[in-house]
Structure 1
Amino acid sequence: MTNRMYLSNQISSNSPSKFDLLSSSASASSNLESEKSCSTILTFPSTSSASNSSSSFVLRQLRFCDRPAVEQICNESFPIQYPECWYDEVVSGSLTSTGLFDGPILAAIIVSETKTIFECNSEDQDILSEPINNSVVYILSLAVAKPYRRQGLATRLLDNLFNTIVMAPPYPRAVFLHVLSTNSPALSFYKMHGFQWHASLVNYYRIGDEYGDGCTYVKYTNGSRPPITFYEILKMFGTTICMPIKAVCKFLSF
């Protein structure tokens, strides 16, 4: 299944899940209570009937009872299948999972995790040249239901992430994500919001029986800067060498 408007990194096939399924009676009781206090409608309205005003949407943390709606949005938005345990983790509270609701209807979601550079996968540990105990935010998923696209909901969720997570302690030094390299709408969206390309990840995604390349995009925050590249080192070295030579040549020309 391919969708041209999926707006997210997808979880890597080699990224382990930390979630263990809850089986205790206490957990089951808690889930039942959550279901009683939340009734998310799964059937989305047609495009014409979807709300046109972003001010009418309610922003709140995703709950256990939202799981079917979260799964529906992800299935229609992404070309890969998330594992069942991932959805459980999203609504368990172990991740920062936020939804925009049009009444009882889940219209958009963003899922992120704050961690240190040291806790990131090896392919992501070079996004900062700063100490490995500095915090970063990893966006696992950002998706909007079809009837609600092009209404600014993804931007609203991203802005909320920066206002509530990035601009608060421990003041993460970067926000990063992975995205399919052929996902042009998502690439344009993130570039428009200040994210920059950091690395290409060959065969990062498994889509059915095929593999797709991914990209790492990063937005540096709270005074942080990208690591100095080898090209920049050569450029600075060249400038250091050339400036005295130019000064000598200028002096000799008089």
Structure 2
Amino acid sequence: MDTFSWYAGENGANQKKNKSVPLCNLSNLQLRFLCPSDLEEVRALCRDWFPIAYPYAWYEDITSNPRFYSLAAIYNGVIIGLIVAEIKAYCNLNKEDRSILSSSYGKSATVAYMLSLGVCEEHRRNGIASLLLDNLVSHLTLSENRDCKALFLHVLTSNKPAILFYENRNFKLHSFLPYYYSIKGTRKDGFTYVLYLNGGHQPWAVYDYVKHYGHFLFRGDLCRWVLVWLRSALVWVWPGMRRMVVDNTTSLVSQYSWATKKNWLNRWI
């Protein structure tokens, strides 16, 4: 099973009573990357936010290994939110995740996997999760990351606030993963959600090909292309055709002239 991805939103019972809690001073909110000294604080937050236990090595990785994009929201010197993601080579994805991207992009294609996204309960519904996600997307769309064609995540099917959050930010439901998670000894279903970046798209089905080429024909691009091709072909073969026509015409004229002269001579001989 891949690493657990989760948006720590309110459950249905708490949504009504836990309305937006305004920050005392938004200018005191800072974003910075995690460092090794954050390990214990991050570990305590994740234990509170998420329903599974991460191994200790995972906390060491996300707070020190540069391959992880680990961004924290800091308020009054305290971490109140974080997002963790990792850029992976498409060829290294698990089998259930490879269908998110067309294989036509080749071996150079990469995708970003969002491992975690969480915000402290007392600071939720203030746009902090959106701010963290926007920074990640901005990073993934830089020119140096142009080979990154998608950002994807896994989420529990029962995590309705998270699903709504991602759908409102243009993530698309890609697949259903039955019994994907094991939480406290119980198997739970999951969804895969994908946000395509830098021109990326999922593998095309028959409908996509019909739609694409139907639109191509409707705009008349195919007809114009055929006309341009015929014109180019005519320009290429015209000199040869012209010489052939001239040579054949000259030959016919010569034969006609000789036949005419011969008939004229026969009359007078």
Rounded to whole Å, the distance in 2 between the matches of 1:153 and 1:193 is 14
> What SS does the aligned partner of 1:138 have?
strand
- The 2-side partners of 1:139 and 1:185 are apart by 17
Q: Residues 218 and 48 of structure 1: is their aligned pair in 2 closer, same or farther, counting only changes over 3 Å?
A: closer
Q: CA deviation at 1:168?
A: 3.5
Indicate which of 194, 202, 207 corresponds to 1:218. 194
Which residue of 1 is the match for residue 128 of structure 2?
A: 153
Map of 2:27 onto structure 1? 55
Shift of 1:98: 0.8
What displacement does 1:216 show?
0.6
Q: In structure 1, the residue corresponding to 2:126 is in which secondary structure?
A: coil
- Tell me the equivalent position of 1:188: 164
Deviation at 1:205, TM superposition (A): 0.7
Matched, 1:91 2:37: no
Retained in 2: the 8 A contact 1:167–1:222? Answer: no
8 Å Cα contact 1:54-1:151 kept in structure 2? no
Q: CA deviation at 1:53?
A: 4.3
TM-score under structure 2 length normalisation: 0.67
Compute the displacement of 1:147 (Å): 1.5
Cα deviation, residue 143, structure 1: 0.6
Contact 2:112–2:152 (CA under 8 A) maintained in structure 1: yes
Among candidates 133, 137, 154, match of residue 162 of structure 1: 137
The 3-state SS of whatever aligns with 1:133 is: coil
Structure whose residues are more often helix by fraction: 2
- Alignment check: 8 A CA contact 2:35 2:64 kept: yes
Change (3 A) 1:72 1:50: farther
* Percent identity over paired residues: 35
State the shift of 1:170 in Å.
Answer: 2.5
TM-aligned CA deviation for residue 71 of structure 1:
1.2
Name structure 2 gaps, 5 residues minimum.
1-5, 9-18, 219-269
Q: Which has the higher contact order (CA 8 A, sep 6+)?
A: 1
Structure 1 gaps, min length 5 = 1-5, 9-46, 244-254
CA contact (8 A) 1:52 1:151 kept: no
Q: 1:133 to 1:103 in 2, by over 3 A?
A: same
Letter in 1 for 2:155: V
Question: Alignment length, in residue pairs?
Answer: 197
